[in-house]
Amino acid sequence: MKASASLPPLALTMGEPAGIGAEIAMAAWRALRAQGPAFMLVDDATRLHGVPVRVVAGPEEAAAVFPHALPVLHQPLAVPAVPGRLEPANAAATIASIDTAVALAKAGRVAGVVTNPIQKSALYAAGFRHPGHTEYLHELAGVATQPVMLLASEQLRVVPVTIHEPLRDAIARLTPGLIVEIAALTAAGLRQDFGLANPRLAVAGLNPHAGEGGSLGREDIEIVAPAVATLRAMGIDARGPLPPDTMFTAQARPGYDVAICLYHDQALIPIKTLDMNGGVNVTLGLSIVRTSPDHGTALDIAGTGQADPASLIAAIRLASQIAGHRSCASR
């Protein structure tokens, strides 16, 4: 589905100034300038070289500018950015870029936010106290429900129930209630943002072969299976626990719309194996549209011209599609 042409442009944040954000943003503009979706970059305009750049006063000017130049809402850095070299003094500008983009989305002046990757260690050194983008955006958006991280590609969608925590802690934290909460929010998000009237959820088992009837651990019997039963009682098309070693095959994937995985690597290994360059991080459950490329800041190749913009381009296109779904649903 294509987003409505009447939608405002997207806002793209600067991300870590020493990373690849600026160069992939310029590459995305080159790829999308003819047909869109249009976006406005919130960044320091003085550091952008290699494409035509136009400083704009706001997103209302960006759509007309976009076919001819990269529209930039100027967010000055404290010191010039050097590729590959972290500079804590620029952390405030990185955070301000996110704040500005979210405020514009909440006001309806942009259709959604696409976040370039941040370097959390640099932000932590400057006093940032959130685990990452998702948690910070959740606070800015001011919603009560827990946000859900969905990774999407053309071949697979996955949601990890637990995310950035040691595996031992993740397993200890698993409960039927937590699985039900994340899965139910995922189903609601797929209906709202992807236009799936009755999304099909495949819930992964925790243990090898989903526990082999209890012989390889009882977590799948005592934690995962009750969660699936509850989801089905709620009217959600869920099945599982499924053996994690077979549920991601080419033969299995057409049977569901999203895989609910129980820990970080169970979700991210298959999607990155299938499509390392085209995966998109989508935050479900926010009042605004938010996507992000499914990779990091790539400090080791920043400034070398090697960065692949494919994931950012996919994130921009998907954000526009989600905004279109939300716009149509609200009419």
pLDDT digits (tens, 9 = 90+) for 185-226: 999 999 999 999 999 999 999 999 999 999 999 999 999 999
Output DSSP code: residue 146: P
pTM exceeds 0.85: yes
Please give the Cα distance from 84 to 67 (Å, whole number): 30
Asked whether the beta carbons of 220 and 183 are under 8 A apart, the reply is no
pLDDT, residue 2, reads 43
Fold match, 1-144+286-331 / 155-274: yes
Q: How far apart are CA 283 and CA 138, in angstroms?
A: 9
pLDDT given at position 210: 95
CA gyration radius, the chain: 20
Q: How much of the chain, in percent, has pLDDT values that exceed 70?
A: 98
Q: What pLDDT, on the 0 to 100 scale, is given for residue 120?
A: 84
Instruction: Locate the DSSP E strands across 103-163.
Output: 113-114, 148-152, 157-160
Q: Is 21 exposed, middle or buried, given 0-12, 13-18 or 19+ CB atoms closer than 10 A?
A: buried
Q: How is 289-321 classified by DSSP, letter by letter?
A: -EEEESS---TTTTTTT----HHHHHHHHHHHH
**Thinking of the domain 1-144+286-331, which architecture would CATH place it in?**
3-Layer(aba) Sandwich (3.40)
Convert the pLDDT of each residue in 237-287 to its tens digit. 999 999 999 999 999 999 999 999 999 999 999 999 999 888 999 999 898
pLDDT of residue 122: 84
Give me the residue spans of the domains in the chain: 1-144+286-331, 155-274
**Residue with structure tokens 């100027």?**
74
In the predicted structure, residue 111 carries a pLDDT above the cut 50: yes
pLDDT bucket at 124, cuts 50 / 70 / 90: confident
Domain at 155-274: CATH code: 3.40.718.10
pLDDT at 5 over 60: no
SS3 152: strand
